[in-house]
């Protein structure tokens, strides 16, 4: 880690004179590629609001952690996030109502339940920082956790990429080809849940969905195929995070919000390019 810090300090950017900016920079490089990959499949599967529902469920996870007396609510958040994701997938698979309706119902209920639990215990104000998040609070131990999650996600992605892609195109076709559709969807949901819950204290509940979906949506505007789609989304995610972090340092603004605005600018630019091509 000291070698990486030394390299960053050698760069001609004043923000790297501070350890918290170095940590935020490294966290951005680790988090955003993972979000880009997961975001592409979320967009393909028309689950753009799924991560938003998981983000809202973080409040319930925090509330459960408070009730259980946990010092760090992360494990309660992970458990409840994975549980909620699996329930949403199960209900969605029943085809009783549309996907966006299912996600909206669970998202609203999870957020309300979390607020009720935290307000009853008097802890809502203490945990309201999770709404906005602050990537500048990332520490070295947090970087190791993010790196571990990213490594596991890449391994699962390599193993499940083709089944996930086939499921996103046509569930019935995927099932006829021997793909265990529900299992693949459940693993993907758990990947998203873990990524969201691990990152939410730095990205924020209100911004997590935007950072997950916007780079993927921008890449889809101009990508010519599945391969280029994923690589373009990854590049856009890195640009959004690094440019956003730099601009937030210069302008003294919220890092997460500035990253999201940068991703939104990329989306509108690529949308215009896509329209011109057509």
For residue 277, tell me if it sits in a domain: no
pLDDT of residue 234: 92
Split into its structural domains, the chain has a count of 1
| pLDDT higher than 90, residue 136 | no
**Residue 183 covered by a domain:** yes
Q: What is the pLDDT of residue 26?
A: 92
30, part of any domain: yes
What digits encode the pLDDT tens for the residues 56-109? 888 888 888 888 888 888 889 999 999 998 988 888 777 777 777 888 888 889
Taking 80 as the threshold, does the pLDDT of residue 237 lie above it? yes
Residues 23 and 104: their CA atoms lie apart, in Å, by 34
Domain contains 237 = no
Domain containing residue 135: CATH number: 1.10.3470.10
Orientation of helix 181-203 relative to helix 50-68, angle to 10°: 70
What is the 3-state composition of the chain as percent helix, strand, coil, each rounded to the nearest 5? 85, 0, 15
Query: Which pLDDT score is estimated for 67?
Result: 84
Q: Looking at residues 17-25, what average pLDDT do you find?
A: 90
pLDDT at 122: 67
Q: Is the pLDDT of residue 123 over 70?
A: no
Task: Supply φ then ψ for residue 235, to 5 degrees.
Answer: -65, -45
For the chain, what percent of residues have pLDDT higher than 90?
22
Q: Give Cα separations from 268 to 32, 59, 214, 217 (angstroms).
A: 19, 31, 10, 10
Query: Does 159 score more than 70 pLDDT?
Result: yes
Report the percent of the chain where pLDDT is more than 70: 98
Beta-carbon contacts of residue 22 (< 8 Å; ≥ 6 apart): 4, 5, 8, 9, 16
Look at residue 144 and tell me if it is in a domain: yes
Instruction: Write down the pLDDT at residue 219.
Output: 94
Could you tell me the residue range of the domain that residue 39 belongs to?
A: 18-204
Q: Mean pLDDT across the stretch 163-173?
A: 84
CB-based burial label for 70 (10 Å; 0-12, 13-18, 19+): middle
On the question of pLDDT at 270 being above 90, the answer is yes
Across 58-62, 99-103, 201-205, 257-261, which has the greatest mean pLDDT?
257-261
| Structural domain contains residue 134 | yes
Residue 268, pLDDT above cutoff 90 = yes
Residue 219 in any domain: the answer is: no
Q: State the average pLDDT for the chain.
A: 86
**Residue 69 backbone phi and psi in degrees, to 5:** 80, 25
pLDDT digit string (tens) for 27-52?
Answer: 998 888 888 888 888 887 777 778 78
Length of the chain: 278
In a domain, 217, yes or no: no
Q: What pLDDT shows up at residue 273?
A: 92
Is the separation of the CB atoms in 28 and 150 below 8 Å?
A: no
What are the C-alpha distances in Å from 49 to residues 31, 83, 203, 213? 19, 17, 16, 9
DSSP assignment of 136-162, as one string? Answer: GG--HHHHHHHHHHHHHHHHHHHHHHH
The pLDDT of 245-274, averaged and rounded, is 93
Is the per-residue pLDDT at 214 higher than 90?
Answer: yes
CA–CA gap between residue 130 and residue 252 (Å, rounded): 20
């Amino acid at each position: 880690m000291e070698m990486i810090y030394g390299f960053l300090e050698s760069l001609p950017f004043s923000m790297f004179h501070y350890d918290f900016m170095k940590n935020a920079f490294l966290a951005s490089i680790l988090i955003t590629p993972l979000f880009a990959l997961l975001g592409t499949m979320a967009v393909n599967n028309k689950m753009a609001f799924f991560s938003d529902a998981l983000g809202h469920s973080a409040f319930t996870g925090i509330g459960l952690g408070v009730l259980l007396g946990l010092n760090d609510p992360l494990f309660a958040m992970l458990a409840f996030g994975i549980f909620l994701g699996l329930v949403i997938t199960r209900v969605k698979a029943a085809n009783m109502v549309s996907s966006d309706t299912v996600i909206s119902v669970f998202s609203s209920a999870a957020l309300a339940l979390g607020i009720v639990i935290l307000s009853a215990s008097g802890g809502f104000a203490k945990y309201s920082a999770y709404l906005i998040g602050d990537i500048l609070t990332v520490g070295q131990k947090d970087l190791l956790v993010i790196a571990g999650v990213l490594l596991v996600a890449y391994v699962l992605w390599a193993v499940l990429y083709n089944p996930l892609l086939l499921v996103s195109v046509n569930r019935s076709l995927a099932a006829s080809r021997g793909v265990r559709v529900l299992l693949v969807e459940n693993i993907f949901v758990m990947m998203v849940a873990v990524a969201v819950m691990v990152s939410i204290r730095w990205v924020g509940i209100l911004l997590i969905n935007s950072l997950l979906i916007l780079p993927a949506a921008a890449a889809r505007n101009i990508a010519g195929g599945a391969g280029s789609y994923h690589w373009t989304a990854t590049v856009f995610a890195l640009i959004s995070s690094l440019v956003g972090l730099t601009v937030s340092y210069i302008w003294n603004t919220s890092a997460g919000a500035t990253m999201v605005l940068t991703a939104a600018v990329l989306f509108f630019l690529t949308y215009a390019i896509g329209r011109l091509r057509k």
